[in-house]
Amino acid sequence: MYLKETHGYSNKKIANVMSLYETGNICGTVILLTLSDRNEGSRRSPTAILSIFVALLISLSFVVFYESYPETLWLISMFFYGFFLGSIHHMVCVTVAADLGRSHSKSATSTITGIIDGIGSSGNGAGQVFLGGMIQALGWRFGFLLPVSLAVGCTLIPLCRIYFNERREL
């Protein structure tokens, strides 16, 4: 909806942009998971922090250069947004499932995984309600792009805490 209303993209063009995002997501998942497995003691937080930070910079560039963002740069940015943001989502899901599988019974693992998925879905639903009102009141730039950027940025807070705890353990 954002691309259609603000940039006049057709459904076909929107599908192409989403394909770029998903392609970046797949490439990022493979590359960043490989890099995180090579970290000292298999610590994943440095890779996640760097990735989220780069995604935050991309997201903030959407807000700052809202009206003057060239289309080619927009498409390239969407690939890298998927690479750095979407891939971390997959890394967290895979890591949590693998770690739970090693340390709990199968029924406990499925229960915990269901709780995590349920909380994520609840957050997505609540976010849609709030964003709808914010977009109407503030427009796409400050009602959608800025809150998304802030949410990405806030992800760094617990990641930094995890990173410093991991450093103490080494």
Q: Which structure tokens are listed for 5?
A: 């209303």
pLDDT (average), residues 56-80: 88
Q: Which residues contact 73 (CB under 8 A, 6 or more apart)?
A: none
Q: Which residue has the higher pLDDT, 12 or 69?
A: 12
Q: Which CATH class is domain 2-169?
A: mainly alpha
Quick one: what percent of the chain has pLDDT higher than 70?
95
Sign of CA dihedral 163, 164, 165, 168: positive
Q: How confident is the model at residue 77 (pLDDT cuts 50, 70, 90)?
A: very high
Q: Which residues contact 163 (CB under 8 A, 6 or more apart)?
A: 43, 45, 46, 49
The closest alpha carbon to 31, from 84, 75, 76, belongs to: 84
User: pLDDT per residue over 88-133, tens digit each?
Assistant: 888 877 777 777 767 767 777 777 777 777 887 887 788 888 888 8
pLDDT (average), residues 79-91: 90
pLDDT over 80 (residue 32): yes
Q: What angle do CA 166, 32, 47 make, to 5 degrees?
A: 30
What was the pLDDT predicted at 46? 85
pLDDT over 90 (residue 146): no
What was the pLDDT predicted at 95? 74
What was the pLDDT predicted at 22? 94
What was the pLDDT predicted at 42? 60
Q: What is the dihedral of CA 130, 138, 54, 82, to 10 degrees?
A: 60
Q: Which residue ranges make up each domain of the chain? A: 2-169
Q: What are the φ/ψ torsions at residue 33 (nearest 5 degrees)?
A: -65, -40
d(CA 96, CA 94): 6
